[in-house]
Structure 1
C-alpha cells in the first residue's frame, strides 16, 4: 500500500492492445457430425480469405473450424488453418475461442443467416507458427481477436497484447 495516498501500488504494467491484422475468412457449408453429448459437433471448411495489416496475404484453402455448437451455452470454436503472405511465407494459425448469443440469435447464426455484430460475443486467442524469421514476432506474443460472423465467413480483428 502506498502510504501517502492510501492506495495499492501496481507491481505490473497494465496490458495494452496493438491492432496488427485483419482476417476475412470464407467458409463452406458445415459438415454436421451430430449431437455428441456436449453439443452439436460441426466442421466448417475454410476455403479462402485475405490477410491485411502488418502482413498482407491470402488464406490457404486447407483448414477448418471445429465447432461445438450449443444453444444455451457458449459455442466452442477451434479453427486450424494457414495463410500465405504476399512474399510467399506461410503461417499456421490455431485459433480457439467462444461465441455466445441469445438462443434465437445463435439459431440464426447456425443457419447461416445474418445477425447484427453487437448481438454476439465472439472472442478468441489465435496462436501462430512460422518458419520465416521476419514473422517470428507472431510467435513471441499473446494475441486476442474479436470476430464478426457473416453468412459465408468470419471477419477477425487481431490484436497483440503488449
Structure 2
C-alpha cells in the first residue's frame, strides 16, 4: 500500500494491430426520426454487402445503423447486423463508433453526398458473436475499425488488437 504502481515490473506491452477483415456494407435510404433533443436521430437499414479477409462471405439484409447526428459534435453510430461466410456460418456484429468531420463535411455526409475521406474521422469498435468454432477467434479478441463513407454504404477495415 502506498507504493507507486508504476515503479514495479515491466511496462504494459504496446498493442499491435493486425488487419483481419474488410467489410463493405450497403445501406438503404435513412428513416428520419428527427430532432430528439440529443441530436438528429435516424435509422439506416442495412441491405447487404461483402466480407473479405480471414473469412469471406456476404453481409445479410438484416439490421441497421442507428445514428445520432450532432452539428457541433461527433455523430454516434451503433450498427447491428449479421454476415454469412462462404461456408454458411453466421456472425452477429455490433459495431459502436463515432464519425467526426468539419461542419460542412458532416452535413454532406448526413445528406449522402461524397466527402474526402481524409476530412473525416470514422472509427469504431466491432464485437462479434458466432456459433462456429472455426470463427471463435472473432469472440476472443478486441477489434477496432476505420471506416469510409461510400455513396451507397460504408467500407470498414477491421483490425485485431494484439
TM-score (ref. length: structure 1): 0.94
The number of residues matched between the two structures is: 156
Which structure 1 segments of 5+ residues have no match? 1-7
Q: Corresponding residue for 2:124? A: 124
SS state at 1:81 partner = strand
What is the alpha-carbon distance in structure 1 between the residues aligned to residue 11 and residue 100 of structure 2? 34
Q: Corresponding residue for 2:39? A: 39
Aligned pairs for 1:84-95 within 5 A: 84-95=84-95
Q: Corresponding residue for 1:101? A: 101
SS state at 1:127 partner = strand
Q: Corresponding residue for 1:4? A: none
What is the alpha-carbon distance in structure 1 between the residues aligned to residue 71 and residue 9 of structure 2? 43
Which structure 2 segments of 5+ residues have no match? 1-7
SS state at 1:118 partner = helix
What is the alpha-carbon distance in structure 2 between the residues aligned to residue 152 and residue 89 of structure 1? 26
1:12 CA drift (Å): 1.4
Residue by residue over 1:75-119, the C-alpha shift from the partner in whole angstroms, topping out at 9 and shown as x without a partner, is 000000000000000000000000000110011001110001100
TM-score (ref. length: structure 2): 0.94
SS state at 1:63 partner = strand
What is the alpha-carbon distance in structure 2 between the residues aligned to residue 88 and residue 142 of structure 1? 24
Q: Corresponding residue for 1:29? A: 29
